[in-house]
Structure 1
Amino acid sequence: MIVVERLKICMRKAEAAQAELDEARKQLRMKDIYLRQLGAYTSADTPLENDSHNFSDETERLKSELIRAVDETEKWKKEAQLARERYELYGTQLNQNIVQMSAKLEEMSNEKLVLESKVQALESEIKMLQTIDRPNLLNDDNTYAKNSIELQKVQNELIEVTNDHQKAKQLIKELNTMLANKEQEVLALSSALNDEKSKLMEKNAELVVAEESLARARSIAEEQKKHTEEALSLSEQLQNEKATVSRAITQNRELKEQLIELQDKLVAVTQESMERENGRLSALHQISQLRNELNRISGQSFDGKNVDSLTAPIMPNGDVYEQQQNTQYVDSRDRDEVIMEYSL
């Protein structure tokens, strides 16, 4: 009975292990199908390890491009800021120079007007003095000398004013030339500023494109990173499932070996039991034959009373009846022993 119970327990364990093995194989097939679908989605025909390696390389490449794009963006921003500050400074300085030159030009124009007024006044005075009657001047020497001195003085002032007027004209001419040059510089700087603004707009457009490309690269990198992590996780799960399946196969093999061993033991025990049962049945058959033979002999030689005494075996102590009573209640195994004693 113990062997049978152990056999049943081992069979149940073997069935449970077989069920676990089937479930593990099913999960393994599902993982393989999912991994193939994932490989088809990512357009990868190489094994999973190569896919992970390619994903890592692509992620590193996108990260490098991302860093390079960010560096170029910062460089463009700095260059644009420096150009803007430089041209704003140039514009401010030019405006200040233009304002200063305009003020100076206006001042010189006012001085020119003042000098022209003085020249006109002096010319009028000279004309007035020239219209004075010379005979009257000759009659009065003192008056003539006085008028001559005043005339010389007026002439000197006129010459001085004329020189100042010429200087003012020359200065105004130089200022106009400088103003024209400054205006040319302003135009050149304005043109250069417009060019830089155009370049800045182009850089901004390129920056927008780079930012969009950067966003796409980040999205692709995140998606590929996600797929890589999923692939690695699935690979790890697959390895774990394979290890579980391997352990289940090993356990199943061990249980099968134990089952075979127990079956062999059960067969041996069954054969031994059958042999013992055959021996018991053979002994019972011999007993039956002996009793029949005794009954036959007793029926021929003695009467009914002696037949009862002869049916029991004669023991050395002569206790025939008790021996007969005891043999009627013995177990089959004990009967075998008794028969063996009789045979001895």
Structure 2
Amino acid sequence: MADVVSSTLSKKDKLAAARKKLKRFKEKNKTPGQDTKSSSTRSSVSPSFNPSIVGEKTSSVTDQNPHLPDLHINERPTASTESLHQLSQHINDLLHESNAIINGEAPVENSSVAQLEERNRELAALLEKHIQANEQLNVQVQQLRDQSQQLQNELHEEKQSFVDKQRDVGSLKDQLQVHIQTIGILVAEKTELQSKIDQLKKQSDQRLDEIEEMGGRLRVSRQRITELERNMSSINSSSQQYEKNSKGYAKDIDKLKLELYKSNQTVEELQQQLSELNGKLSSKVSDCLAHEQNVEDLRKKLEMAELYTQQLSSQSDKESLKLIDSLQQEREEYIKKVEHYQEAFQTVTNERNQQSEQYQHYIDQLQQQTQSLTNQVTSLTDEREKLYSEQHEAESKMHSLRRQLEKAESQSQCVSISSSDLQSEINKLRADYEELAKRHETQIRDNAQLSRFLDEKENKIMDLESTVGDLKEESSNKAQLLENIQSDKTALSRALTQNKDLKQQLAELQNGFVKMSNDSMELMTKLQSEEHRGHELADRLAQQEDELKDMRELLASRDLKLDEIQKCADNLQRENYQQEQIQDRLRHYEAQAQLVETLQRELSASQDMMNALTTQNSELRNMLVKSRDNKDIYDESKDEKSDTIIGSLQATICQLEAERNQLIENLNDQRNLSDNLSVKVADVEEQLKMTTNPDENIVSRVEFDKLKKTMEAIQEKYTRAMRDKADLSDKADQLEHLVLQLQGETDTIGM
């Protein structure tokens, strides 16, 4: 304070001295009627003190009000140099005048007077300028006086405010101590909360680890579920394909049975036709025997004719002619009969060929049908084996599902035992949560009050900082106060940020606790629902076991029926083989029939020969008649002709005898063949009689309908069992997943 007072007093003394000097300068400048010497002396005196006055004045003004602009700083040095220049010129003029006077140079007075006048004019102009400058300086001095008065008033106010601020600083120090104590309490609470947060973080880390483990288990279970779903979809698709195939097979079996029925009818018709053909063959055989007898009779008659021809030479011509006529008539009758027999035999052969072709075509169809039946039987057996394997797999899966259900039931019992402990721990956690919520609300209120109080104090501190900034030079404790205030501000800001962080952490903990409580309630509901599902699954398992037993019985009956069908197919194969053998025999018989046809052709050739002989006989008769008419005229020529005719007749008779022998041999062979054919036909008839009872091994329509219904029932039960098995597997996987979740949560709650 003493330094401040001394500095203000020194400034006042300087201002008073400057004012006195200015008054003197003005008085000297205002005195009129002075000569050039006095003005020169004034001008010489004024430069001696004007610069100092101006310098002191400007220094005082700049010290008191450094913000005022320097208006005439550039004009002051110009005025002082001008005055010096004028003084130097005036002194030079005086020296020149004195020298001139001394040297006797008087005429120079006029020039010096003119120079002096000019100089006076210049000095008058300079005076005007100085007067203007003095007026400006007076104005500035008045302004400076006003400013100094204002500064004195401000100093007095600042002293009073400084005293008030010192009082406020004392109260602020007390408040700062209170704040420091509150900050210490907050820091202690913060450490406690931080320790709790660390514990909660550890628990949350443990929960996260457990959640990750549960997520891994969930992924594994989901993969298993997807694999099982794929297997179930493939099994369902295969079962649907089996159903479609079984329906198609049932339709094919119906068609085949209809075809078998039709084939049996055609076989019966063919058997009837064969019996008719056998009757026709027997009739033809009898006809052949009759023809053979006729041929023998003809041979005998030929022999008789030969005898008659031999006797013709000895007997009369009339008797020979009668015999020849009778022989010709008989020959014509025989020719007609042979033609009739040939036509009948030709028709019989054509019918037989047609029937053989039809029979061959029918046998080919039967072979194709039997081949398709064998293929179908093999495919059905393969499918049956596949169904057996799938049934075994389904049984193994059912056993595994039973085991899993037993495990799930045991685990659900354990979970039900641990659920009571979980409920008690949940109640404890709820009580802790309510206490924490109450403490959190009180903490929020305290923090709100502290934040308001701190905001007010921060505003006051800002005001104090603005005032303390002006009083830095006057107070020695300002720096310490500012540092303390700044440190308090930083501590308060840190406390506020920590309180905000604690609020956020408490909110997160509240949300986590709410989630945990919701999860626990959901788990309890899921446990109850899964227990109910477990009971339902057990009931369904019992039902499915009963259905599986029924399905096994139906499959056993189906296997027996399949074995019967297999036996029927084997019998059909045997019948086809026998029919093939019969067909081969018929082919052999057809070959033998060709031999018969050749023999018939030979018979026709012999008949032609007989016709030729009859014509020759008729010619001979005509010749004999002519010879009788011309007996007397042509005796000699008759003898010659008779010799030639007898030679020709003998040659033809030899040929006829040779042909007769061949025909006899052929007839014997034909008889043997006919006997063999009759025996073989009898064998064929017996075989056909043996094969005419295929209906004994054929399944009736009623039995087929029953088999079809049982197959459809088996398929429906199988599809139901597979669907129920899929549902059970899905529910078992869900139970495993829930049990694992409950185990993880019980472990975390126990931790």
TM class by smaller structure: 0.3 to 0.5
TM-score, normalization: structure 1? 0.44
Rg comparison, structure with higher value: 2
TM-score, normalization: structure 2? 0.23
